[in-house]
Amino acid sequence: MRSLALISALLLPGTALSGTAEITFVKPRPQDPLVVQVDGQTFTAFRTDTRVPCLYPLVGPSGANITRHFPLKKNVPGEASDHPHHTSFWFTHGSVNGHDFWHDPKCTIVAKSTVTGSGTLTANLDWIAKGQVILKEQRQYTFSADDKTRRIDVTSKLTPAAGDVVFGDTKEGSFAIRFAPTLRLKGEVAKGHILNSEGQKDGDTWGKRAKWVAYHGPDANNAPAVVAILDHPRNLRHPTWWHARDYGLLAANPFGQHDFERRKGEPRLGDHTLKKGTTLTQRYQLVIHQGTIESARIEDAWKAFAK
C-alpha cells in the first residue's frame, strides 16, 4: 500500500483517456526517467540519460519489448551488440552543419525542459556540437492505445540556434527505431518481414520512397506483431526515403537522396538548408499492433494520420 501511495503521489499532470486506454505519466523518483503508462502498465519511458534522448523500453500489447535492449541494457540473450548508437526509438541525423549527431559521441542532444499534458509529453531540446548549440528543437510525443494497438505521434519542430543550418545528404539518419531480434530478417531468432506502402517487400524496401514501412513477425513473446512508421504528407520531401535494414534498423530519412538513389556524382543532392529564423516541422506516427499485417490495416492508419 505504501509503494502504491508513493507512485500515486508522483503521477504527473496529463492523465488522459486516449482510444480506450488511460495514459498516465509517472516519475517514481526525481532522478528516474519519465514513465508513460497504459492503463497502469509501463508502455515506455523518455530517457535523457543517453547521448541523445530516446524512448525505452517500448512495450507492445502482448507485454513484449519491441525494440532491442542494447545498449541501454547489456548482455540480453539473443541480442547483437553492434551499432551502439542505435538507442531503441530516437531521432537525430548524421550531418548537421557537418557534425555527425548519428555516430559521434561528442555530439549530444540535451533536454532543457519537459512538460506533460493530456496524453502528451513535450521536450525542449538543444543539439550541441563542440560546445555550441546548433539547433533548438521542440519535440512532442502524443500517446494513444486500445486493446490491440498502441500509437505514438511525434512532432519535431527544428529551429536554427544562430545562423543557417544545413542537413547534409547521408543515409545515416534520421527518425529511427531498432527492433528486437525476432522482428529482424536475418539472425539466429529472426522471423521478421518488411512491407511498404508501395507493395515492396523485405530487401527491396531499402532506399525506396514510401508513405509508410512496416516490420511484421513474432515478438519476444511469440505473439504476432506489426510495427510501422508513417510519414506525414506535409513532411519535407514526402514520401520519404527509408533506411530499412535486414538486421532490424528502420529510419525515415528525407535528407539521404544521393545515398539511397545511388547517385554518386551528386553527393549534395539531398542537402536541405534551414534558414535562420525559420522552423522545419516533421511529423511521424509509430504504430505497434498485436496481430497480422492484414489486421493492422496500416494504409488506413496512414490515411487517418494524414488528415
pLDDT in tens, 126-162: 999 999 999 999 999 999 999 999 999 999 999 999 9
Block residue for cell numbers 525506396: 208
- Is 295 a domain residue? yes
Q: What is the mean pLDDT of the chain?
A: 94
Q: Is the pLDDT of residue 6 over 70?
A: no
Looking at the 3D structure of the chain, how many domains does it have?
A: 1
Q: CB within 8 A of 303, min separation 6: which ones?
A: none
Residue 259: pLDDT over 80? yes
Residue 249 belongs to domain spanning? 2-73+94-306
Q: Is residue 80 part of a domain?
A: no
Q: Using one digit for the tens of pLDDT, what is the confidence trace for 209-250?
A: 999 999 999 999 999 999 999 999 999 999 999 999 999 999
Residue 258 lies in a domain: yes
Query: The cell 539473443 sits on which residue?
Result: 78
What single-letter DSSP state applies at residue 33?
Answer: P
CATH code of the domain in which 13 resides = 2.70.98
CA distance 220 to 285: 22
15 pLDDT above the threshold of 80? no
Residue 246 in domain: yes
pLDDT in the model for residue 20: 81
Model confidence, pTM? 0.94
Determine, yes or no, domain membership for 124: yes
What pLDDT does residue 2 have? 30
> Quick one: pLDDT at residue 208?
98
pLDDT for res 8? 35
- Residue 18's pLDDT band, with cuts at 50, 70 and 90, is low
Which residues lie below 8 Å from residue 299, measured CB to CB, with a gap of 6+?
197, 212
Q: Peptide bond before 174: cis, by omega within 30 degrees of 0?
A: yes
- The answer to the question of residue 79 being in a domain is no
* Residues near 110 by beta carbon (within 8 Å), at least 6 away in sequence: 48, 125, 126, 128
Condensed to tens digits (0 to 9), the pLDDT of residues 262-286 reads 999 999 999 999 999 999 999 999 9
Do the domain assignments include residue 180?
Answer: yes
When comparing pLDDT for 27 and 16, which is higher? 27
Confidence label for 16 from pLDDT (cuts 50, 70 and 90):
confident
pLDDT in tens, 166-180: 999 999 999 999 999
Q: What is the pLDDT of residue 3?
A: 32
Picking from 204, 200, 38, 59, the residue whose alpha carbon sits closest to that of residue 119 is: 38
Question: Which run of H or of E encompasses 8?
Answer: helix 2-9
* 9 has a pLDDT exceeding 50: no
Backbone angles phi, psi at 36, to 5 degrees: -105, 125
User: Is residue 4 over pLDDT 60?
Assistant: no
Q: Is residue 266 part of a domain?
A: yes
Q: Which three cell numbers stand for residue 143?
A: 500517446
At residue 28, the pLDDT reads 86
Handedness of CA 234, 237, 238, 241 (dihedral sign): negative
